[in-house]
Amino acid sequence: MIEYRNLRVALLGAGSVGSQTARLLLDHADELALRVGARLELAGIAVRNLDAKRDADLPAELYTTDAAALIDGADIVVELMGGIEPARSYIIQALTSGADVITANKALLAEHGDELFDIADQVGAQLYYEASVAAAIPILRPLRDSLAGDRINRVMGIVNGSTNYILDRMDRFGDSAEDAARVALELGFLEADPTLDVEGYDAAQKVTILANLAFHTSVPVEQVYREGITEVTADQVNAAREAGYAIKLLAIAERLPDPETGVESVSARVYPALISRDHPLATVHEGKNAVFVEAEAAGSLMFYGAGAGGVETASAVLGDVVSAARRHLAGGPGVALKARADLPVVPVGAIETRYQFTLEVSDEPGVLARVASVLATHGVSVETVVQSASVVTNGVRTATLVIGTHSAQESALSATVKKLAALSVVTAVKSVLRIEGIS
Amino acid sequence: MIEYRNLRVALLGAGSVGSQTARLLLDHADELALRVGARLELAGIAVRNLDAKRDADLPAELYTTDAAALIDGADIVVELMGGIEPARSYIIQALTSGADVITANKALLAEHGDELFDIADQVGAQLYYEASVAAAIPILRPLRDSLAGDRINRVMGIVNGSTNYILDRMDRFGDSAEDAARVALELGFLEADPTLDVEGYDAAQKVTILANLAFHTSVPVEQVYREGITEVTADQVNAAREAGYAIKLLAIAERLPDPETGVESVSARVYPALISRDHPLATVHEGKNAVFVEAEAAGSLMFYGAGAGGVETASAVLGDVVSAARRHLAGGPGVALKARADLPVVPVGAIETRYQFTLEVSDEPGVLARVASVLATHGVSVETVVQSASVVTNGVRTATLVIGTHSAQESALSATVKKLAALSVVTAVKSVLRIEGIS
């Protein structure tokens, strides 16, 4: 029997991730001790209300409302409360007291990450946050460590399971957006207030974390261009499927070189986009997440798995706890990531992308010429045009034009769409979507 | 201008991975210095023959034939020569002199990994080897660190790009095995001597490394059950496609619980198997690699990317160099993985799997009953039977029976096939394949 020293682990929060983390810590105590070289003692679980009903069957004496006292005696503090305060203050207390901290709090990192990393750096403590993006999928550690000798050019991910569930149902079962959202809600894939998910806020928070690791650049969440999925229609999804695409809500962080000046910048954005069904991201179904990484030397990589769920997220938290515990025992400064590139962040208008727009046009001679002339004026080059047979609606004979563009500057593309909408021969702009995944 | 200390990096081998690693070290020197906190100085490249023609345009003064002297003055030694000796001796020299070592040498790790890890452990040095499995794909670090708080139950990978290229061509273009191999050879996906790849030796070496990390168990490469792809026919691939499967060469490391005794064991095996086209591994095309991991808490994860290539592999090597350099600066014992589970390794006969066998049978009454009775005798339960319309060949009327079994013990399944082959009504056993990817 080996005698181990104890490392005291304080848990803040007893929601689904918190209680599963506690359960794994207790159930796997012997195995964890072997792997770490010390026993991970669950010192307590800080909660707001001792009398709240809990799913998990954990010893009642673990619960406490005195988070500050619990943190005080801890070697490792695991923050799983969510929200900004008091989570931020507790993490600062933990770091300054010499504890290493694990958090899954993407909102906090997106807003106060710089502050927290600075404090950790000053006191020589570590802040781990693998579970904050794509839950169980190991993506942050590979970006930080495995690709540390490479140059990452682009990170493109499906990082919100709720919206992927909705879009996937619309794609595979032909559901309307409303029906898909109702099923997602019933099955627990969607929160009662779905705004954070369907408006893309959640994905925007995650893309700031990805951009930070990939490009060593702090991107304020307000500078992430963001469109949610609320405008995506069943018609768009069906038309995309027929054209060989899937519509996915993509979180993209990209390094943009300026070939003339040599100055690089970063774009971070979230929007629904068309992606070829041949692309690995197109095969990410239900509530799964995946992150596609393009690096200079490594080429294309993809990381796929569960993007939510209490026990799945707890797995990532525990991985961080083991890393923190090992480094706590080893001592030393750990991995300090002081090297900042802090590239400028550009607005969405400056990026290059491809558009697909669907126009309803009056079926008369010269329409295509007028549309093409608007595109040419804005320097937008056409890759594909499909004109469908004309129909008569309300006494007007109209046709549908689906135009896919070559890569062009976003600002030119959006100006083009505005100009097209104003043409008298264009009776409606039925859909505008970006196309991603083809370089 | 920050003044950095230097860390001397010795490179052993100047093949495609070695020269690309050297090029990245030189090209990215400033960025690497920022990330590491020290300059990574390429001290030299040990080669056998100074006059050999090299692809890479590297400074001639870097080359040396005196590997031992180069290692002597190095902080970090990168072994990319391949083969057992002198690679093994050089690595031992490096570790005992206090250098951290990076290697991509799967054959050496499969045969002498235990010895090398023991030495590293004794002297407090680190041995990194991310590039040894699935090249550019970060898979070993996630297994070791990200999933350190979880329990991995199964690792199933496409870890040999050459054979995947061949099987993928047969599947997608209807090539014969010979044609596919010829194209693979022409395009550089296959070595002039393809034995290591097509007979599954390469995959077997990699599965020992995966099993070691996933189950903390040393699996001698001789104990890996191994079948290559040389028996896979175009007919099998076509029939599989029609039935909704792809045939992939799978490297599988699995934890086997014994519910009665509570004793766990490990199986490691390599064979071509049917995998449902819905499974993420079925969409791994060309020379790509992917590793699918099933863990108790995290659920299913997949890691996908380039499984070969000089620059792609160099990316993984550089990631390890950066980790080694950071830990070299930080001091301390680093991550010592002394906790061994050393589970027993079971022969393939003991595993549970599913078979699909294709029999040519004489078309007469009672055939199905006789076949079914053999299955029942061995306790093998049938999941699917497809009998195709009978044809007359050489004056004999025969039918084709395709039988998919439920999960059963491998030894019972292989005994069943032998018995079936001996039946007078079975004129030929045309195909026997395992079915994987469904639990």
Looking at the complex, does the CB of residue A26 fall below 8 Å from at least one CB of chain B? no
Q: Which A residues 231-290 touch B at CB under 8 Å?
A: 280, 283
Nearest residue of B to residue A317 by CA position?
Answer: B149
What per-residue confidence (pLDDT) applies to B162?
95
A205-255, pLDDT tens digit by residue? 999 999 999 999 999 999 999 999 999 999 999 999 999 999 999 999 999
What per-residue confidence (pLDDT) applies to A2?
56
Give the best residue of A132, A315, A326, A343 to mutate against chain B (max B CB count within 10 A): A315
What per-residue confidence (pLDDT) applies to B137?
95
Q: Which A residues 376-405 touch B at CB under 8 Å?
A: none
Mean pLDDT, rounded, for B23-37: 91
Is domain A6-135+311-330 classified as CATH 3.40.50.720?
Answer: yes
B190-216, pLDDT tens digit by residue? 888 899 999 999 999 999 999 999 999
Looking at the complex, does the CB of residue A318 fall below 8 Å from at least one CB of chain B? yes
What per-residue confidence (pLDDT) applies to A259?
77
Is domain B141-306 classified as CATH 1.10.357.10?
Answer: no
What per-residue confidence (pLDDT) applies to B45?
97
User: What is the value of ipTM here, to two decimals?
Assistant: 0.91
Q: Helix crossing, A106-123 with A87-96: angle to 10°?
A: 20
Domain boundaries, chain B: 6-136+311-330, 141-306, 351-436
Residue B264 in this model has a pLDDT that exceeds 80: yes
CATH number, span A140-306: 3.30.360.10
What per-residue confidence (pLDDT) applies to A391?
85
Nearest residue of B to residue A321 by CA position?
Answer: B149
When CB atoms are compared, the residue of B280, B306, B322 closest to A299 is B306
Sign of dihedral through CA atoms A73, A77, A78, A83? Answer: positive
Mean pLDDT, rounded, for B162-187: 95
Q: How far is CA B408 from CA A81, A262, A318, B353, B381, in A?
A: 46, 62, 35, 6, 8
B218-246, pLDDT tens digit by residue? 999 999 999 999 999 999 999 999 999 99
Residue B332 in this model has a pLDDT that exceeds 70: no
Residue ranges, chain A, pLDDT below 70:
1-4, 332-339, 438-439
Q: A206 an active-site residue?
A: yes
Sign of dihedral through CA atoms A21, A132, B299, A15? Answer: positive
Is A175 within 8 Å of A301 (Cβ atoms)? no
Nearest residue of B to residue A309 by CA position?
Answer: B298
Predicted TM-score of the model (pTM): 0.92
Mean pLDDT, rounded, for B258-281: 91
Topology of the domain comprising B351-436: Alpha-Beta Plaits (3.30.70)
Exactly one of A206, A248, A338, A430 is catalytic; name it.
A206
Amino acid at A261: T
% of chain B beyond a pLDDT of 90: 79
B341-394, pLDDT tens digit by residue? 789 999 999 899 999 999 999 988 889 999 999 999 999 999 999 888 788 877
Give the best residue of B36, B121, B139, B146 to mutate against chain A (max A CB count within 10 A): B146
Between CA A213 and CA A48 the distance in angstroms is: 33
Mean pLDDT over the full length of chain B: 92
What per-residue confidence (pLDDT) applies to B143?
94
What per-residue confidence (pLDDT) applies to A407?
93
Query: Which one of 3.60.15.10, 3.10.20.30, 3.40.50.720, 3.30.70.360 gives the CATH number of domain B6-136+311-330?
Result: 3.40.50.720
Exactly one of B53, B106, B206, B430 is catalytic; name it.
B206
Chain A contacts of B141, Cβ < 8 Å?
A: 138, 141-142, 145-146
Asked if the Cβ–Cβ distance from A299 to B322 is below 8 Å, we say no
